[in-house]
Amino acid sequence: MVSSCGPFEKIRKSSDVNYKLSKANEYYDKKDYQHANELYKELMPIMKSTRNYEVLFYKYAYTFYYLKDYVEASYYFKNFTEYFPTSKDAEECEFMSAVALYKYAPKYSLDQTNTTKALEAMQSYTNRYPKTERLAEANRYIDESKGKLELKKADAAKLYFNIARFKAAIVAYRSVMRDFPDSHSSDLYQYMIMKSMFKYAKQSIEAKQEERYTNTISAYNDLKDNYPQSKYLADAAKIYTTADDNLKKLRNEQHQ
């Protein structure tokens, strides 16, 4: 411990700024990002407005990224673009700021505030640089972020269904369809809307059942018309038949 800390402490305490910078860059090149980061941190305020400041700032941001401190990495990458807007590295740093936010975002089952921030940052990047060579990669991050947000909302809708809060499930599944119109699971969401409507009708008072079975049939028709190849159509048809039978029975009773 003493032998490994000794040389670094000697560098850190040096008053020779150029020496300290060269050693920081050596650490960086050797991928010793922790020591590079500590030296860059001390050099940042000292070297502001010097010709070496831009490269120093750039590498300082990357040390956070390589150390997996994605919050700080995103912050410094974004700050780089604001401090050096005409730099040849400005586009890269805006992209990396969004990537760092994406890396920081948790799995879909947890709070997705940071996924939303990452999505917005990446969309802002693609809007600013529509012809970037990173477009395919940026779009992949956008799609993956949208996928996480969709799964989060779909899970919430599924939970409402599982705990028999069918009216809330209908609203939630409709919200998922509205927010993610290009989803590969749209037919599933439409099927679950129909299924929730059927369950909701069954648990309703008789005075409300006719309207709610009618809504179930309408939801089935939407599924059949919009997703004719859906794997859920067979099960949906069974629900439709039961709903239609119940509806006819209700109407017959009303006319007796």
pLDDT at 209 (0 to 100):
85
**In contact, 80 and 87? CB cutoff 8 Å:** yes
For the chain, which residues score pLDDT lower than 50?
Answer: 1-3
What is the enclosing helix (H) or strand (E) of 10?
A: helix 2-12
Q: Judge whether 236 and 220 are in contact, CB under 8 Å.
A: yes
Q: For residue 136, how many other CB atoms are within 10 A of its CB?
A: 8
Report pLDDT for 107.
Answer: 60
Residue 230 token pair: 């859906």
Residues 187-236 have pLDDT tens digits of: 999 999 999 999 999 888 888 888 899 999 999 999 999 999 999 999 99
pLDDT of residue 206: 81
Q: Are 232 and 223 in contact (CB under 8 A)?
A: yes
φ and ψ at 14, to 5 degrees?
Answer: -65, 145
Residue with tokens 């809060």: 165
pLDDT at res. 7:
85
